Amino acid sequence: MASASSPRHVLVTGSSRGIGQAIAAAFVAAGDKVTVHGRSRESAERGMRAIGAAGFVVADITDEADLMKALGEAAEARGPIDVLVNNAGGVETAPLSRLGVDQLRRMMALNVEPVLTAIRAVVPAMKAKGGGRIVTVASTAGLKGYGYVGAYTAAKHAAVGLTRALALELASAGITVNAVCPGYTDTDLMDGSLDKLEEKTGRSREEILKDFTKVNPLGRLIRPDEVADCVVWLAGNGAGAITGQAISVAGGEI
């Protein structure tokens, strides 16, 4: 938790909506200085205002130089980043017959490479301050297999592997590195997926939603605030001995 005298600087990538915005909002509620990140100025500024964050940055996370510039701007404006949450990412679907190397490369560029770029950017200042917290929002697809999202699943497994490796390297510097792996979550992206499947298949929304939730023993979608609570805990003092973990927030699916 942040103290009233010295709130931490928290940067959450992909925080203009969905899980990222819920995470950013939870840190604001905890009293931290939060920088919102979005792909466009409009989305980032809207996200900042929605939760009362301290500021925002804009970057294409697949552009290493652009992301590094944005992280530098955030640190210059609000001080070194104490907590980095790598949330931004995305998914593409394809059966094996249409799954090519190009899609695999896109998924790696979107879900893994920015994680490494952002961590490399913030670690020097964290080391200088004697510690820090890094949390990557992966997915249950980083812990198990799913059909028709082979490239995405491979990328999320890579993100979890990177988390585990860097946790070992950075532990002696007081920096913890963990991953949170949500199951199917109730966001606007999920709503969009349900809309497309409803239109494409002609099935009812209720039927399609049952397919998504049947793997979850709770029988429902995960709430964004449930993911956010886990991230905030990992960034807190009580989780100082927790590192190199990939924690499933999936209602017992894993």
219: left (phi over 0), alpha (psi -120 to 50) or beta: left
- Reduced to 3 states (helix: H, G, I; strand: E, B; else coil), residue 6 is coil
Extract the runs of DSSP E, i.e. beta strands, from the chain. Answer: 9-12, 33-38, 55-58, 83-86, 132-137, 175-182, 246-249
Q: What's the distance, Cα to Cα, between the start and end of the chain in Å?
A: 29
Instruction: Check if 148 is active-site.
Output: no
Note whether 210 and 2 are within 8 A (CB): no
What tokens does 132 get?
């820090």
DSSP state at residue 220: S
The rounded radius of gyration (Å) of the Cα atoms in the chain is 18
Among 83, 101, 82, residue whose Cα is nearest residue 92: 101
Note whether 91 and 19 are within 8 A (CB): no
Q: Which amino acid is present at 119?
A: I
| HSE value, Cβ hemisphere, 13 Å, CA-based, for 246 | 22
- Spatial separation of the C-alpha atoms in residues 54 and 57, rounded to whole Å: 11
- Spatial separation of the C-alpha atoms in residues 125 and 197, rounded to whole Å: 45
- Reduced to 3 states (helix: H, G, I; strand: E, B; else coil), residue 13 is coil
Give the residue numbers marked as catalytic.
152
